[in-house]
Amino acid sequence: MSLDGVSMAYSFDNANAPTKHPEQYYELFGNRAIYQDGWKAVTIHGNRMPWELNKTADFADDVWELYNLNEDFSEANNVADENPDKLAELKARWEELAWENNVYPLYDDMVQRIAKQQDRLFGDRREFVYYNPGARRIAEKASAPVKDKSHSIEVKLDLTGKEEGVIVACGGFTGGYTLFIRNNRLHYDYNFYNGVYYTLQSPPLPTGEVDLKFNFLRSGFIAGTGELYVNGDKVAETEMPEMHISSFSLSETFDVGIDAGTPVSNKYRVKNHYPYTGELDKVVVRLTD
């Protein structure tokens, strides 16, 4: 067992053994800290909480704290004001180590950077056609890049009124979107983290050949309006003020005709992944910016 290549075995038989690891520093998502001989200097970048993924801040405005771990192992008492020289010394040492180990340049827009990578996969492509049942278990990052973009999802079906199930789904219970038919109505659910949903529902669907479409109109950064259309007529609308910009999940997929992982919506069951029971040829996704 070791920490950064320093074995911890020497401490197992002697709880009072002096440390062989007197210094360590880190940088993570803009948060920085350094430990040295019982002292620790740390700054939470922009005072940003882990769930504030889209918040950015000026690194020069970050406030550093100082703790004496020899007397305060739980870091309960910030002693920066009482020890300005020690804080300055540790901050200077952090700078040295950061430059030595290529930590710079610092950036905090990691979510936006990750999101931009998906655009590189598809270039200028605007239309994506997915056939049933082949288009299943497609990695989310390899599916149509709809996040923070105006887009439509369209399908043409021949309905008898008895069909139900998922037409297309991406993501799972931690976040995602799904278009499905239940109780002879078209539904679109957007799961903005588990428990917060934007929901659209149509009136009872007609029988025969029907054109069904979800349309998203981007109005701002990861925000916009969702619309449902049946045969060209708008039948439902909702505001979607906060949405995902990065991954819905680490493991869920994009699927046509089924929701292959955990359910995106809380309106259908987990047991059999709610497969579509009628004839489903293809789903077309278009970027409409």
Token match 């529902």: residue? Answer: 201
CA distance 201 to 41: 53
pLDDT digits (tens, 9 = 90+) for 148-193: 999 999 999 999 999 999 999 999 988 999 999 999 999 999 999 7
Pair (218, 97) in one structural domain: no
Pair (170, 136) in one structural domain: yes
- Supply the pLDDT for residue 288: 93
Pair (99, 168) in one structural domain: no
Is the distance from CB of 122 to CB of 145 less than 8 angstroms? yes
Nearest to 187 by CA among 243, 255, 238: 238
Residue 111 phi, psi (nearest 5): -65, -45
Pair (119, 216) in one structural domain: yes
- The one-letter amino acid at 28: L
Pair (171, 278) in one structural domain: yes
Beta bridge partners of 200: 188
How many domains does the structure of the chain reveal? 2
Q: Where are the beta strands (DSSP E) in 89-232?
A: 127-131, 138-139, 151-159, 165-172, 175-182, 185-191, 197-201, 208-220, 223-230
Pair (138, 190) in one structural domain: yes
Last residue of a domain, one of 61, 77, 108: 108
- Supply the pLDDT for residue 40: 97
Say which CATH number the domain at 46 has.
Answer: 3.30.1120.10
CA distance 129 to 245: 22
CA 166-167-168 angle, to 5 degrees, is 95
The DSSP output letter for 60 is G
Last residue of a domain, one of 87, 108, 129: 108
Pair (135, 166) in one structural domain: yes
- Taking the chain (289 residues) in consecutive chunks of 10 residues, what is each chunk's mean pLDDT? 63 83 88 94 88 80 95 95 96 95 87 67 89 92 91 97 95 93 96 85 97 96 94 96 84 94 86 91 94
Neighbour count for residue 138 (Cβ, 10 Å): 17
Last residue of a domain, one of 92, 108, 124: 108
Pair (75, 53) in one structural domain: yes
CA distance 267 to 277: 16
- Supply the pLDDT for residue 55: 79
Is the distance from CB of 115 to CB of 68 less than 8 angstroms? no
Pair (75, 142) in one structural domain: no
Domain of 262, in residue numbers: 114-287
Say which CATH number the domain at 283 has.
Answer: 2.60.120
Pair (119, 14) in one structural domain: no
Count, in order, helices (H) and strands (E) of the chain: 2, 18
Pair (92, 142) in one structural domain: no
Pair (223, 283) in one structural domain: yes
